[in-house]
Amino acid sequence: MSTFSKLAAKATRAARIEAKRTLARTALMKNPEVKAAFEALPLNVRKEAELSLGYGSVIITLNVRDLTSFKDKRLTSILERFIDWPTRVNEYTYGAPNKDFVFEKINMIDPVAGNFNLCVNVYSYVKSDSPMCRVVVTGVTERIVREEVKQIVCA
């Protein structure tokens, strides 16, 4: 197979994948709950949001980068729109500070697809050189790990 044929096959495969994503997105947006959640996002970030399917879930994912702090208006304007949803927040202190905001409605009903969970993930990243927000050590925890050593003994 020539280099041109390989590149053409790769481009065709990429086009098929993108077509399937577009078709899935169009189908998912027909559900009123999914459409309402997607349209709750500010207009200027909708094009960056990804819409995907998980196991029994419809997932809307948005990455918000280069924040000065978690009080940045770009982030708070998004979070305010999902204030009534059940929420989980995960903080990460490795390197630059970042937080994942997970909003999830359980057991939504679609007449065609049946029950599903609707999840909006907002992944927020503060700039590593931000003067407003940084990772600081506030204490030390010492852990002692006890592990059993086992072996097989046969008679």
Render pLDDT for 29-63 as a digit per residue (tens, 0 to 9): 888 888 999 999 999 998 899 888 877 888 999 99
Residue scoring higher pLDDT (141 or 25): 141
Counting the structural domains of the chain, the total is: 2
Domain match, 3 and 44 both: no
Question: For the CA atoms of the chain, what is the radius of gyration?
Answer: 22
CA–chain centroid gap for 143, Å, is: 32
154 vs 25, more confident: 154
Band (112; pLDDT cuts 50, 70, 90): low
> How far is 50 from 59, CA to CA, in rounded Å?
8
Tell me the three state secondary structure of residue 42. Answer: coil
Which structural domain, as residue segments, surrounds residue 86? 32-126
Bridge pairing between strands 57-67 and 114-126: parallel
On average, the pLDDT of the chain sits at 87
- 132 domain residue, yes or no: no
Residues 8 and 76 in one domain: no
**pTM, two decimal places:** 0.75
Residues 7, 56, single domain; the answer is: no
Residue 100 to residue 92: CA distance in whole angstroms: 8
46 contacts: CB under 8 Å, gap ≥ 6: 38, 39
